[in-house]
Amino acid sequence: MQNMTSHIQFARAALLEPFGLSDSAINNVLSHIQLGAVDDADLYFQTTRSEGWSLEEGIVKTGNFSIDQGVGVRAVSGEKTAFAYSDDISMASLMDAASVVRAIGAQGKNGRAKVGKALSSKASKLLLPRKLYGMDDPIASQGSAEKVALLERVEKLARSKDPRIKQVMAGIAAEHEIIYIARSNGQRSSDVRPLVRLSVTVIAEQTIAGKLRRETGTGGGGGRFGLGYFDDAIIEQYVTSAVNAALMNLEARPAPAGEMTVVLGPGWPGVLLHEAVGHGLEGDFNRKGSSAFAGMIGKRVAAKGVTVLDDGTIRDRRGSLNIDDEGNRTQKNVLIEDGILRGYIQDNLNARLMGVKPTGNGRRESYAHVPMPRMTNTYMLGGDKDPAEIVKSLKRGLYATNFGGGQVDITSGKYVFSASEAFWVENGKIQYPVKGATIIGSGPESLKKITMIGNDMRLDTGVGVCGKEGQSVPVGVGQPTLRIEGMTVGGTA
């Protein structure tokens, strides 16, 4: 309990006390907002320290450090949201922002404004967060020399793997974020969020039939911990993944095209599940009826055996949070259970309008953005099939083990994804790697076409970033090996 209380004290010391702000002052701001007719109001204080290093050809090419802080002020009435923000945390700016929010709200429409520099009397209620990760600043977990040495180790290892590796690029990103949330119902909550990521990109070259061929491979990962996580074993894993991908693509042939059975590998291929299904299960799209899953609660939307979760409570994971950005504790939410749709992910506004409870999925990119329902760690549970058995079951089809970019139409559920690592399979045997494969389908339809589910469910290594309405947030994805029938593959063969 003492650690949890110190969590809130730490946030207050960073975000309130330096600016002379007290609970009484915050209550005055919220009371000023509530002079208008509002259903909810909150203040979101945030400070973020970020650092990045990149190395190429043995030289540190870039290094950057930044500090961003500010406060977002929001009032919600019915479906309408009034929002203002300021990068100046002071009583004067808070009152200015509150006045702007009241003015926007009085116009009866959604609005957003930036305020330049310049609650009722309910007692505060502290929401003590769980502790899914430490509070230590990952930027301070290593000195500059150690960070450069880490990148040099990555480059040296990658080059030692194969003489065809001609270029290596490595990067470190570290972030330490502190938030404090004050709501008009008297609730006070906070979070201290570390986040790190190590990335490696290699370029392999080989002359084939007199022509120089160049291919790229990537690897990396991270989570909510310090830079000490990246030991020799982890670095070996990331580098090997990047090198193998590049060398494999040197041998890749053009991908066949047409309708076929596709086997998806475990882990990062869950990004297809995230995009094609996860976004369609967000509360705002379903409240407005614009999702292909709208009105389907309690109905079968997937094959038997398909269970999909969104879980923000997994320790140290990139997509995990002690609390969401509205002060609600994150949860382990069952979205689809054995093929039956059980629920959507919700923020406060959409949960209230849909008559359900928030699910701990109200997220925002920063204090300058309004929260909305967003995924945390979204994954499908494993089944009972041996992954090798699933690949062996393919008579003719594609085995996709990694994905690049993709996009989805929420209304129709249709998606397009490019496979960055894939193999052509005939009679249960992998024949050769292919490149240029594009997976085309519909999220709701693909869920119904799953015929085999592996027992190898795996989460990604910690690289996911989700974009929605111009906001980016860190997320996690995962799935087991899956066999899906009748998928459309766009290729170049």
Task: Give the Å distances, CA to CA, from 386 to 200, 267, 448, 455.
Answer: 31, 15, 20, 6
Q: CA–CA separation, 72 vs 92, rounded Å?
A: 14
Q: CA–CA separation, 478 vs 403, rounded Å?
A: 12
Strand partners, 173: 52, 197
Q: CA–CA separation, 406 vs 477, rounded Å?
A: 14
What pLDDT was estimated at residue 107?
Answer: 66
Q: Beta strand 396-408 with 258-264: parallel, antiparallel or unpaired?
A: parallel
Is residue 124 very low, low, confident or very high in pLDDT (cuts 50, 70, 90)? low
Q: CA–CA separation, 54 vs 65, rounded Å?
A: 12
pTM listed for this prediction: 0.93
Is residue 3 very low, low, confident or very high in pLDDT (cuts 50, 70, 90)? low
Per-residue model confidence as pLDDT tens digits over 43-85: 999 999 999 999 998 899 899 999 999 999 999 988 999 999 9
Q: CA–CA separation, 53 vs 414, rounded Å?
A: 38
Residue 13 Ramachandran class (φ > 0 left, ψ -120 to 50 alpha, else beta): alpha
Helix H or strand E encompassing 345: none
Contact, 305 vs 453, CB < 8 A?
Answer: yes
User: CA angle, corner 140, sides to 139 and 144, nearest 5?
Assistant: 80
pLDDT at residue 37 greater than cutoff 80: no
Is residue 119 very low, low, confident or very high in pLDDT (cuts 50, 70, 90)? very low
Helix ranges, 64-161 (H): 91-106, 144-161
